[in-house]
Structure 1
Amino acid sequence: MTHTSPVVVIGGGQAGFAAGYHLRRQGLGFVILDAATAPGGSWQHMWDSLHLFSPAEHSSLPGRLMPAQPGRTYPGAGHVVGYLADYAKRYDLPVRQGTRVRAVRRHGDELLVEADTGTWRARAVISATGSWSRPFLPAVPGRSVFTGRQLHTVDYRRPADFTEQRVVVVGGGNSGAQIAADLALDGRVGVTWATRRPPRFLPDHIDGRALFDVATARRRALDAGRDDTGGVASLGDIVAVPPVRAARDAGLLQVRTMFSRLTAAGVRWTDGSEAGADAVIWCTGFRPALSHLAPLDLRGPRGRIPTDGTRARHEPRLHLLGYGDWTGPASATLIGVGRTARDAVREVADLLR
């Protein structure tokens, strides 16, 4: 079955919804195709204890403040899922849940968006698929011989799944710190936290509000031709959210440099010392989910598509939204994606009109 829509948005998470909001304001016809069967984006797959870096009022999409979660300064993932579901209803966003896009192709003056439920003919496409569906696992020697469980951030849910087990958490970013803290605070799990360099905690008073401001200031400096301020990376890697701070201050976060290899029964360091492990949790990041755009042959260095702002440099009918700083400062965050969504939709409106 073939459908026609002036604009097709691929992905029904926070970036796709922010795009939908601005498309509504511009009076443009559009559809949002989402592979998930329910609204909420990647937030509906997070671990149980996860909560935002910022208070609700500083974690909102355009047009609708996120309500506070009773009893919590920093809302949990479930609260975000409810907010996104309400957001879609409030703005009557035309979301087709359970629709997985396989490919986007050029077809004359249009782009064809091929999904498992049909094909859409569009004059412009906004890709907002994020990275949660593409977890990255590093090529560490011995991964194939380790007999314990290996999980990625996407697979972790709760400490109770590891009671009385020895767990190695790998990764020096926010996910690694939060999952290591979650396990350590439980008290029933033996936790080792392995990082390539010593963890760099941001000052305790810094949360998502400050990070957004820092990221925005860096982008403005670069756009104006001024020196690179270093952005968020100059401050540290890990936001000291309350559970991380509690585990750190209690001395529960046992940090070791990255091991050299996995063995059948655990891990081995460069000095020859070994430690047994029942599970390894790889908190080693993600890659942008862009396989559906492969037929357009736009990939550049590091697997990214070169962009001017959010617009694909070699395909002006395509915008990429919410994949990180390369598609807009803080655009992979709830509060940050609204600005880049607005700019992308303005360009789409100019193209269509």
Structure 2
Amino acid sequence: MTLTPAVVVIGGGQAGLSLASCLRQRRIEPLVLERHRIAHAWQHQRWDSFCLVTPNWQCRLPGFPYDGDDPHGFMGREAIVAYLQRFAERAAVPVREGVSVERLQSSGDGYRLLTSAGVIEAEQVVIATGAYHRPRRHPLAERLPATVLQLDARDYRRPDQLPVGPVLVVGSGQSGCQIAEDLALAGRRVHLSVGSAPRSPRRYRGRDVVEWLERMGVYDTPIDAHEDPRAVRHKTNHYLTGRDGGREIDLRQRAREGMVLHGRLEGISPTGLSFAANLAANLEAADAVYRRIRGSIDAWIADQGLAAPIDPPYEPCWSPPPDGSGSRLELAEEPLAAVIWCTGYRADFSWVEVPVFDGGGEPVHQRGVTQAPGLYFIGLPWLHTWGSGRFCGVGGDADHLAQVIQRRQLRRDGSQETLECTALLGS
């Protein structure tokens, strides 16, 4: 069956739903295609104890801010899914679930989508599938013995899912640190390979740090204001957690409690794993970011002339031996039950047969607008600001793209007079 909607949105997560809602507010009825079901990634690619690292009050999808009774709490996995489902119902967004887009091609003045439900022709297309498609693993991961269970972060659910025995978590970004904590709190022996991820305070000077950063305008700073936008897009998020009402993750404290920390994973053989001699340096670099965030808040409070309680200076509670020859985990001495890879994801847009990508396979765009007329992206990290990939900022990007789509549609319809009136009204 061939359909010919004016606008197709590919992806039924918060980005795709937000854009569809903004389009409907402009009386444009998009067709949203979702490979699985609404909020699939939140439901099926997060562990059981997962929760947001940003407070609930920062969840503000278009026309649908957080509607619960715990604005300063942190929604868990099931609550996030329910919030997105309520948003889709409130916005009356039409979503065709269970339809995958296998190829996207240029077709005349528009686009052809080859889907599992047939061919769809569209004048404009928005790709809202995010950028975390394929997990990354160490290139030598296959050298681990077959007796060691290997999981990617998106496949981990709970500690008792894993065989009995020690577990190695590779990667100290948000997922890695939170999963390592989840295992340690369950009494598992945990090894953690610590990389270059920065850490953040949770609360400082009487408020959640997210509230200070929002007041400071950090989440709204456009990427073009940064000296190296490409580098910013590839930075790892700071590690902290919303668990237990929200708190910091201090790997030094976890080491005191028994978690075994290593530097970056360097080599893998059938007999063991070797780690770089950079654990002390990586912990200190994470602490330096932690202190810098505190310092920026201090400076802003002083500049604004605000009264706020004073917190004591941060002092490390534990330090590893000075970096020397690195460490090694011998499997004969400590046979691992599992390795959980928390080493990030790469984008896979190989199904998009339109030349809008750089040499690394990443889309080239200006706030989601590509050089191909009528083709857009939304929901990418740092699409426009730090908030673009979050519940707090995706609505602004959706509203912007909805305006662009509306104006292009009006021009194609020859409604220049209507377009000018719409622009004057600020729609």
TM-score interval for Structure 1 and Structure 2 normalised by the shorter chain = 0.7 to 0.9
1:2–1:120 CA contact under 8 A, matched in 2: yes
Q: Are residues 234 and 122 of structure 1, via their aligned partners in 2, closer, same or farther at CA, if it must alter by over 3 Å?
A: closer
Q: Which residue of 241, 245, 248 corresponds with 2:248? A: 245
Name which of structure 1's ranges 93-102 and 61-70 shifts more when overlaid on structure 2: 61-70
Deviation at 1:299, TM superposition (A): 1.8
What is the DSSP-based 3-state SS (H/G/I as helix, E as strand, rest coil) of the residue aligned with 1:105? strand
Counterpart for residue 76 of structure 1: 76
Structure 1 gaps, min length 5: none
Counterpart for residue 340 of structure 2: 281
Q: Are residues 142 and 24 of structure 1, via their aligned partners in 2, closer, same or farther at CA, if it must alter by over 3 Å?
A: closer
Verify: 1:202 aligned to 2:200, yes or no: yes
1:310–1:321 CA contact under 8 A, matched in 2: yes
Q: Which residue of 235, 255, 268 corresponds with 1:262? A: 268
1:14–1:84 CA contact under 8 A, matched in 2: yes
CA distance in 2 between partners of 1:107 and 1:122 (Å) = 9
2:222–2:385 CA contact under 8 A, matched in 1: no
CA distance in 2 between partners of 1:234 and 1:107 (Å) = 36
Deviation at 1:149, TM superposition (A): 1.1
CA distance in 2 between partners of 1:236 and 1:289 (Å) = 21
1:58–1:335 CA contact under 8 A, matched in 2: yes
Identical positions, percent = 28
What is the DSSP-based 3-state SS (H/G/I as helix, E as strand, rest coil) of the residue aligned with 1:57? helix
RMSD: 2.8
Counterpart for residue 151 of structure 2: 151
Counterpart for residue 379 of structure 2: 322
Structure 2 gaps, min length 5: 277-324, 411-427
What is the DSSP-based 3-state SS (H/G/I as helix, E as strand, rest coil) of the residue aligned with 1:260? strand
1:210-245: CA deviations, max 9, x gaps? Answer: 5664242253634xxx898x9799997213544673
Name which of structure 1's ranges 5-14 and 39-48 shifts more when overlaid on structure 2: 39-48
Residue correspondence of structure 1 range 94-173 to structure 2 within 5 A: 94-139=94-139, 141-147=140-146, 148-162=148-162, 164-173=164-173
Counterpart for residue 351 of structure 2: 292
What is the DSSP-based 3-state SS (H/G/I as helix, E as strand, rest coil) of the residue aligned with 1:245? coil
Residue correspondence of structure 1 range 1-150 to structure 2 within 5 A: 1-36=1-36, 38-45=37-44, 46-68=46-68, 73-139=73-139, 141-147=140-146, 148-150=148-150
Q: Which residue of 366, 372, 377 corresponds with 1:308? A: 366
1:10-36: CA deviations, max 9, x gaps? Answer: 000010001011011111121000001
Counterpart for residue 191 of structure 2: 192
Please, what TM-score do these two structures have when normalized by structure 1? 0.88
Deviation at 1:101, TM superposition (A): 0.4
CA distance in 1 between partners of 2:240 and 2:391 (Å) = 16
Number of residue pairs matched by the alignment: 343
Q: Are residues 308 and 203 of structure 1, via their aligned partners in 2, closer, same or farther at CA, if it must alter by over 3 Å?
A: same
Q: Which residue of 373, 396, 400 corresponds with 1:343? A: 400
Residue type at the aligned position of 2:156: Y
What is the DSSP-based 3-state SS (H/G/I as helix, E as strand, rest coil) of the residue aligned with 2:83? helix
Residue type at the aligned position of 1:308: Q
CA distance in 1 between partners of 2:92 and 2:166 (Å) = 48
Q: Are residues 275 and 333 of structure 1, via their aligned partners in 2, closer, same or farther at CA, if it must alter by over 3 Å?
A: farther
What is the DSSP-based 3-state SS (H/G/I as helix, E as strand, rest coil) of the residue aligned with 1:20? helix
Residue type at the aligned position of 1:333: R
Q: Are residues 246 and 342 of structure 1, via their aligned partners in 2, closer, same or farther at CA, if it must alter by over 3 Å?
A: closer
Name which of structure 1's ranges 200-209 and 81-90 shifts more when overlaid on structure 2: 200-209
Verify: 1:331 aligned to 2:385, yes or no: no
2:131–2:381 CA contact under 8 A, matched in 1: no
Q: Are residues 9 and 211 of structure 1, via their aligned partners in 2, closer, same or farther at CA, if it must alter by over 3 Å?
A: farther
CA distance in 1 between partners of 2:54 and 2:67 (Å) = 13
Q: Are residues 63 and 344 of structure 1, via their aligned partners in 2, closer, same or farther at CA, if it must alter by over 3 Å?
A: same
